[in-house]
Structure formats: C-alpha cells, structure tokens
Chains A and B, each alone.
Chain A
C-alpha cells in the first residue's frame, strides 16, 4: 500500500453516491431494447420496437431526422455567431477605451442574471410582429441574444490574462490592431474559444422553453420539443418510445463530454495555462 492515506473509503463513498445514477442510466438504456412484464423490473424479452421512430415517422409528428437536423442547425448557428460576436466584443471590452465601457460591463452582468422565462411573452409578441414566429431563424436570434452576455463575459476574462506586451510587440513589429488581434491574441485564448463553443453548442442542443413557445410547428421542431410531445400524448402513451428518443437525444451530448471534458473545465479557470 502506497501513499499516506487509504483510498478505499473515498472510493466506497463515491460508489454509493453514484450507484443510483448509474442504475438509472443502465435502466434507461435497457428499457429501450427490452419489454418487461407488468409490475416487474426484470425484462423478459428483447425488442427493437421502441426504436421504430428511426425508420418510420410517428403519426402527427415530424420525422426524427428532420427534428435532429433542426436541432443541429439551431445549435451550430447559435454557436458560430456566439463565438464570433463574443470573441470580438470581449476583446473590445478588455482592451479598447470605449465610451460607456463600465456601463456595458455592468449591463452584461445584469443581462446574464436575467431569467429567460420572464422575457418569453415579450419575445413572443416581438417575433410575431416581425414575422419570425415559428421559424428557426427566430429562435436562433433569441438564443444568441440570451447566450451572448455569458460568452462576452467569459471571453473578456480570458483576454484580460493575455499580457499587454504581446500587443505592443505586435504593433512594434508592424501589425495593425486587427492583425494583432487575429494573429497574436486570438491564438492565446484558444482554450476559451473551444470551451465556449462546446458550451454554446450544448446549450443550444438542450434548449427547450424557447423552441416550445416560439417555434412549435412540425417543420421547425427540435428534439427537445419532439421528446416533450411524446410524453404529453395521453392517447398513445409509450414510455419505451420516450426513453429511446431520450437516449437518441442525449447521445451526442455524452460523446461531446467524453471527448472534451478537459477543455470544458478551462472555462472556470479563466486562464491560458496548458
């Protein structure tokens, strides 16, 4: 035995703590490919019927692939625009002498803390007025607006850690302010861009309230709304189907987490180490 403390109590504690979660995830998956007799938790037959939504369109619902595509488009466009705007706005707030800079910084914090739900009715009315109700572009715009304060704040924090000397040296070397930003400063905040990108994508992928209220139509439906509609359907209640769609919905998120979990932690450290 090495080390000056024993590991097994910690491992035991963590195991007890996570066991219910692991059990729930296991059952979530097992239930999608099996049937159990009524009143029992032990499955007695293997079936793929709960995954039928992949090949056939359920009555009254859009195709799962259309919903997946919509979710992907929604999350991706949101991510790209949030990244572009946050990385430039964060730089401006960190480095340039803007008029009303502190007002902007305060405003961003306030907006970040603002609960989305309270804005829903106003956003609904505005989207109807400008004709963007029930469109993907409408909810994308709203989602971007709500994600930006967080993104700008995070990027500003990272830019603050890049030494001024790098920019002075860049100017000295004959680069313009814009070139300094693109070629010298941006590469030094790459971890932040990676983390913010993943965060925005996950936020877009899991967004529910906005699409539910602002774009409920079948042709613009996203996966979260699709999933909610299945559990809300009292006439054809199918918990197996609901779980399968749930697993299908969560798979990309799990994959992203497995590959990028180290990068995600960067966003809380706020530095360029590593």
Chain B
C-alpha cells in the first residue's frame, strides 16, 4: 500500500514543527527519516499512525484519505523507541490490549495472543510483566499484535 503525505503541517501551540511536508512511500519500500533531535521525525510518524492530529494537509493510505480517521481505524502499528509496554499488565494482557479495545471476545483474544506468542517463541513469557523481562525480550510483545 502506498502512503502519501500532502502539504502535511503540524504545530505545537504557536510553533510550526513541520511546514507543508510532502512524502510518498511506495508499496514495499523501506524509508528512514534522518535528522537532528527535535526536527519532527517522531511527529511525522505519530501523525501517520494517528496519535497526533494534523494542522494542515492530507494523509492518504492508498487512495483512502485517513487525515481525520482515528488511530485504531487506520490499522497501523508502531514500535516506540522505549517500547512503551504497559508496566502494570503482563505480556499476555499487553498483547491483548488492542484486541480488548476492539471489543473482541475473551476467547478470541486468548486464541490470537497464543498463536502470535507461539510464532515468536515467547509463550513461556506470557505471564511475566515488562519489568521482569530482559532487554532482549522487551520489544517482542509490541511487534506481535
């Protein structure tokens, strides 16, 4: 799927962080955003996945305009720099949280989580909390769902 940003603008208060940015990412293409601290790399990513609201311009997934679509309905995933696991939930609950928010049944959540845990070989870690995982393990629950 193609991702297209047209004249994307983001402001925080009076400060314009990103001014009319155009970006096109083709299907299967891999892109890296490089830049100094505070130049708007994360802001751009957060706008694409719907965490930040956009102050101007459009964001398109394929031909679909998702500028004002909620994060959940865009169906995109993010791996945060600091992993951003929920510290009070165990791995299983962390993985199941988005499904729970989509109001899927408990049995269905369990099935999907088990299946994915099996796939990435973390089944024995499901009952542990993020604080009890090693650094290598920390990213996994996020990538799984």
The interface of chain A, by Cβ under 8 A from chain B, is: 97, 163, 165-166, 168-175, 179, 184, 187-188, 190, 272
Contacts and interface: CB of A to CB of B under 8 A. Distances in A.
A190 B87 CA distance: 12
Contacts, number: 54
A184 B93 CA distance: 12
A187 B85 CA distance: 13
B89 to A, nearest CB: 8
21 contacts: A163-B84, A165-B81, A166-B84, A166-B86, A168-B51, A169-B80, A169-B84, A169-B85, A169-B86, A170-B86, A170-B97, A172-B49, A172-B50, A172-B51, A172-B71, A172-B72, A172-B77, A174-B101, A174-B102, A175-B97, A179-B101
Given A166-B86, A184-B86, A174 B70 contact: yes
Interface in B78-96: 78, 80-88
B98 interface: yes
Given A168-B46, A169-B78, A179-B101, A174 B84 contact: no
A173 B97 contact: yes
Contacts of A166: 84, 86-87
B72 A173 contact: yes
B84 A165 contact: yes
A163 B82 contact: yes
Contacts of A163: 82, 84
B98 A173 contact: yes
Contacts of A175: 97, 101
Interface of B: 13, 46, 49-51, 70-72, 77-78, 80-88, 97-98, 101-102, 142
Contacts of B80: 165, 168-169
B84 A188 contact: no
Contact of B72 (A174, A184, A190, A272): A174
Nearest to A179: B101
Contacts of A272: 87
Given A172-B51, A174-B102, A165 B82 contact: yes
B101 A173 contact: yes
Nearest to B79: A169
B102 A188 contact: no
Contacts of B101: 173-175, 179
Nearest to B75: A174
Given A171-B51, A188-B87, 14 more contacts: A165-B80, A165-B83, A168-B84, A170-B97, A172-B50, A172-B98, A173-B97, A173-B101, A174-B70, A174-B71, A174-B72, A175-B101, A187-B88, A188-B88
A184 B101 CA distance: 12
Contacts of A172: 49-51, 71-72, 77-78, 98
